[in-house]
Structure 1
Amino acid sequence: MLPGNFHGSTGQSSSSPYTVTVNQTTYQPGDTIQVTLSGTFTYKGFLLEAHEEGQNTAVGTFSLGSGTGIVLVPCNKIAASGVSQSNNQPKSSVTVTWTAPASASLGNIIVK
């Protein structure tokens, strides 16, 4: 999950002015959770993925809400396991839905 994979730039190393929030902090297999990316500044590009804590492989799938300028992307060859921008129009907030995998063997999930 590095921006260089898509845009040829390096990742940010300072604190982020953006936050990722969820509407619930626990999940059961198959649960759907709203995920919101927002910030104090507008942004033109982003990539969201959900990972099991300590792992680098995307888990679960995303679906789009009513927002515009966003698209589902495959990560690690898993369809709809990421969300990104589909245009460069400034955004201040994006909300999508993440669906937990059907497997009950996963631990803590981090959305980043």
Structure 2
Amino acid sequence: MTGALTLPMLGLILFCILAETAREVCFKQSANEHTLVSAMSKPITWLGIVFWAVELFAWTAVLERVPLTIAFPLMALSYVIIVFAGALIFKENINLRHATGVFLVTAGVACVGVTGL
């Protein structure tokens, strides 16, 4: 491991963030079912599992090359993206306190990202 965050690795981390967001959206959609058995019979659940598997391989590739102290905090951007996905796709509300938390997570990720470059 070189210990540096390269542009390709940053791109792979962003891919992991998008895969995680897609997975969570799929799981949220399938969670509208009343039972686990009925949710597991839906293709959207299995699509979420595929996103999970793809992210696992991509994340492992990231961790082979980027220090965990840099890579993991950058993955916190998934919390920000998932909040926006919930608001856009599921019409969930974001209040001021929630938005402040999202801003603070983003600021923290920016601090870590700058130190890793």
Give the structure-1-normalised TM-score: 0.22
Greater RCO (Cα-Cα under 8 Å, separation 6 or more): 2
Q: Which has the larger radius of gyration?
A: 2
Calculate the TM-score normalised by the size of structure 2.
0.22
Q: Which has the higher helix share?
A: 2
